[in-house]
Structure 1
Amino acid sequence: MKRSGISRVDPAAFIKANLPIAAVPSIPEILLHSAGPASGLWRLADCGGGDPPPYWAYPWAGGVVLARHLLDCSEKVAGCRVLDLGAGSGLVAIAAAKAGAAMVMAVDVDANAIAAIGLNAAINGVTISAVAADILDAPPPEATDLIVVGDLFYDPSLALRVLAFLRLCRASGIEVLVGDPERAYLPDRELRRISTQAVADFGATASGSAVQAGVFSLS
């Protein structure tokens, strides 16, 4: 496929060639393709016909703390059918699978993220069903016991849509876990804090600084 005379970059091939595999900070059990200063992610965005920003290429604090929680409290996810909303690189989905989930689906609007999830799942020896879709206006997903949400409350309009969807899911009996470093649009009043941990965040890893990120359940 070509757009404006430029060949479409194959995302899986690009990720393999330009995003080295490394252990996630605070989660040595999980390896991911992660971007660095020389990854040239702009080439995916330029050739992708309006692809979203490549947030999937970096571990975010909310995803890191939530993945760590699932691995440390595997009894809470073992045997569950899990949906990772806004899955990005698949970090939280991979943690759920490693913790013994019976089935894991990862959903993200970015097709490049879906390519990354497939590669990252293979690296970690787990099976994840990855889907490129916006499901926030859809009914609560069937055959789902737990929805995990890592760091989706960074934008006001997105936060409103995510919360409305999660409320419907919770009302239908689906458990909801959120990982977040208390970004501006986190709906604190509707969440119960389970744990807190200092982890590296997207944009802060170069300096080695950490933020306090929490794991929350939706009431």
Structure 2
Amino acid sequence: MKIGQTPSKRKVFILENTQLTPPHLCPEIQLHLITDSCPLWHATEPDIERLGIGDPYWGFCWAGGQALARYLLDHPEEVAGKRVIDFGAGCGVEAVAAMMSGAAFLLASDIDPLAVEATRLNALVNGVSMETTTRDLVGDPLTGFDVLLAGDMFYDPAFSRSVLSWFAALTARGMKILLGDPSRGNIKDTPVEPLASYQAPSDVDLVGKYLQKTTVYAIAPRISR
């Protein structure tokens, strides 16, 4: 049976299928995550298809997002007083961290309505507020924003090329772009400046049993010749 398509029904679904859990690198944040005590942890692909929800990636706090959130909490000057976009928000960990670090305004973007609802719930439980959108922003000039956050977005080579080309255009117009990436291999041709590295949990690891080096980068402007 498919879940309802209204925000209230999506909210109920998330609350019934997640558990409040602090991510490994950010114990000051609480997130609605899928743990091994939740029904979705044990769901099979046919189960997911019957629910009609797609991959519930919004129920996990991925390494790149955790590292980027930790970096913002430790370096609030990166976002304090600024207008920020969290692109591909997922569970919204870096969006929450940005607001906790003093961002003036934050727009959390994800094309999955369940991810947007999860981000809203995670903002609420952490006492911060933000706007959300399910609009596909790739290619948008994002006029009026200062910083873009992207945690663990570079899992697919073709998608990465498209997004990184857009990021290059945004950087050329003066936007600061911060990435969190656990060496997935799809940003190797992009000029980046490493800012910090962390040992973050691998994929769906909740307790930090399997750690991997995860780096926060700033995209460097391309130098014209």
Q: Structure 1-normalised TM-score?
A: 0.90
Take 2:84 and 2:115, find their aligned partners in 1: how far apart are those partners? 18
1:70-219 counterparts in 2 under 5 A?
Answer: 70-136=72-138, 138-205=139-206, 208-219=209-220
1:30 aligns with 2:29: yes
Number of equivalent positions: 211
What is the Cα deviation at residue 111 of structure 1? 0.7
Which letter does structure 1 place at the counterpart of 2:23? V
Deviations 1:90-112 (A, max 9, x none): 10000000000000110011111
**Percent of residue pairs bearing the same amino acid type:** 34
The answer (yes or no) to whether the contact 2:83–2:147 under 8 Å persists in 1 is: yes
Deviations 1:151-208 (A, max 9, x none): 1111111101110111111111110000111112123541111111111121344670
Could you say which residue in structure 2 is the equivalent of 1:8?
3
The answer (yes or no) to whether the contact 1:104–1:128 under 8 Å persists in 2 is: yes
The answer (yes or no) to whether the contact 1:177–1:215 under 8 Å persists in 2 is: yes
- Runs (5+) with no aligned partner, structure 1: 1-5
- Runs (5+) with no aligned partner, structure 2: 221-225
Could you say which residue in structure 1 is the equivalent of 2:223?
none
Q: Give the CA RMSD over aligned residues.
A: 1.7
Take 1:156 and 1:104, find their aligned partners in 2: how far apart are those partners? 28
Q: Secondary structure at the match of 1:202?
A: coil
Take 1:147 and 1:199, find their aligned partners in 2: how far apart are those partners? 21
Which letter does structure 1 place at the counterpart of 2:162? R
The answer (yes or no) to whether the contact 2:110–2:135 under 8 Å persists in 1 is: yes
Distance 1:175 1:125, change over 3 A: same
Distance 1:44 1:112, change over 3 A: farther
Take 1:56 and 1:120, find their aligned partners in 2: how far apart are those partners? 11
Which structure dedicates a bigger proportion of its chain to strand?
Answer: 1
Take 1:56 and 1:178, find their aligned partners in 2: how far apart are those partners? 18
Deviations 1:31-60 (A, max 9, x none): 000002343335665333xx4411111011
Which letter does structure 2 place at the counterpart of 1:181? P
The answer (yes or no) to whether the contact 1:59–1:201 under 8 Å persists in 2 is: no
Take 1:168 and 1:202, find their aligned partners in 2: how far apart are those partners? 30
Runs of 4+ in 1 over 4 A off after TM superposition: 42-45
Could you say which residue in structure 2 is the equivalent of 1:59?
61
Q: Secondary structure at the match of 2:144?
A: coil
Take 2:49 and 2:131, find their aligned partners in 1: how far apart are those partners? 24
Take 2:54 and 2:162, find their aligned partners in 1: how far apart are those partners? 17
What is the Cα deviation at residue 22 of structure 1? 1.2
Which letter does structure 1 place at the counterpart of 2:159? L
What is the Cα deviation at residue 117 of structure 1? 0.7
Distance 1:188 1:15, change over 3 A: same
Could you say which residue in structure 1 is the equivalent of 2:39?
40
Q: Structure 2-normalised TM-score?
A: 0.88
Q: Secondary structure at the match of 1:116?
A: helix
Take 1:207 and 1:91, find their aligned partners in 2: how far apart are those partners? 17
